């Protein structure tokens, strides 16, 4: 049946995301917070994350482009990105922020630039994957089903 197939795809897809370290247990917590009174919670929060991250990444590239680089400001931005990515379980984005902060502390511009690139890459990756995931969810709901996260067991 179509619904079963969709639901199986959903589980396999998310399992892969967890396995490959794109997402961690914090992400599954988000689903626990979703219920009848907040049926779109996960999509809402993740959308917030997308908006916020894009803004931060733009701010970061601008800041690194200055003649006098303000490492404190950059560190603050990265700290925030680290916080928000960890809040939704975007593990690889979070990890790239950790290395970024080390280079900030060392005031190493080259290092920072390469970290920024990495952060951007990871962000785009997870964005694509989550958008695909939400598409799948939509299809499941449209087919009359519901998202089943029990089997995540995280």
Partner 1 sequence: MNLGGSRAVNSLTIQSSSTTRRPGDGVVDPFPAGLRVLVVDDDLICLTVLERMLQKCLYEVTIHNQAEAALELLRRDKTGFDIVLSDVHMPDMDGFKLLECVGLEMDLPVIMMSADDSKDVVMKGVTHGACDYLIKPIHIEALKNIWQHVVRKKKQDRKEMEFEQSGSVEDGEQQQNPLEDADYLSSPYEENRKNSNKRKDEKDEAEEMDDTSTLKKPRVVWSVELHQQFVTAVNQLGIDKAVPKKILELMNVPGLTRENVASHLQKYRLYLRRVSGVSQHPNGLNSSFMGPPDVTFGSISSLNGLGLQALAASGQIPPQSLSTLQAAALGRMAPLIDQRNIFSYENQKFRFGEGHQQLNDNSKQLKLLHGIPTNMEPKQLATMHQSAETLWECPSPIPIKPKRLFSDTVGSTTIKESYFK
Q: What residue ranges bind partner 1 (CB under 8 A)?
A: 26, 29-30, 32-33, 37-38, 41, 44-45, 48-49, 52, 76, 79-80, 82-84, 86-89
Nearer of residues 38 and 128 to partner 1, judged by Cβ: 38
Nearer of residues 88 and 140 to partner 1, judged by Cβ: 88
Least CB distance to partner 1 at residue 44 (A): 7
Residue corresponding to tokens 């290092």: 111
End-to-end CA distance of the chain: 27
Please give, one letter per residue, the 3-state secondary structure of 64-91. Answer: HCCCCCCHHHHHHHHHHHHHHHHHHCEH
Nearer of residues 38 and 61 to partner 1, judged by Cβ: 38
Least CB distance to partner 1 at residue 86 (A): 4
Nearer of residues 52 and 137 to partner 1, judged by Cβ: 52
8 Å CB contact between 46 and 126: no
Least CB distance to partner 1 at residue 81 (A): 9
Q: Closest Cα to residue 45, out of 84, 98, 103?
A: 84
Least CB distance to partner 1 at residue 38 (A): 7
> What one-character DSSP code corresponds to residue 152?
G
- Cα separation, 47 vs 42, in Å, equals 8
């Amino acid at each position: 049946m179509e619904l079963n197939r969709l639901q199986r795809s959903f589980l396999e897809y998310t399992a892969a995301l967890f396995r490959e370290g794109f997402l961690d247990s914090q992400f599954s917590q988000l689903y626990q917070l979703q219920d009848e009174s907040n049926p779109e919670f996960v999509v809402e929060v993740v959308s917030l994350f997308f908006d916020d991250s894009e803004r931060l990444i733009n701010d970061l590239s601008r800041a690194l482009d200055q003649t006098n680089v303000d490492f404190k400001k950059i560190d603050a931005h990265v700290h925030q990105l680290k916080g928000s990515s960890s809040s939704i379980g975007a593990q690889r984005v979070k990890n790239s922020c950790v290395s970024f902060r080390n280079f900030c502390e060392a005031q190493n511009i080259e290092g920072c630039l390469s970290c920024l690139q990495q952060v951007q890459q990871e962000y785009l990756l997870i964005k694509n994957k989550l958008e695909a995931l939400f598409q799948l969810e939509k299809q499941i709901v449209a087919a009359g089903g519901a998202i089943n996260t029990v089997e995540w067991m995280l």
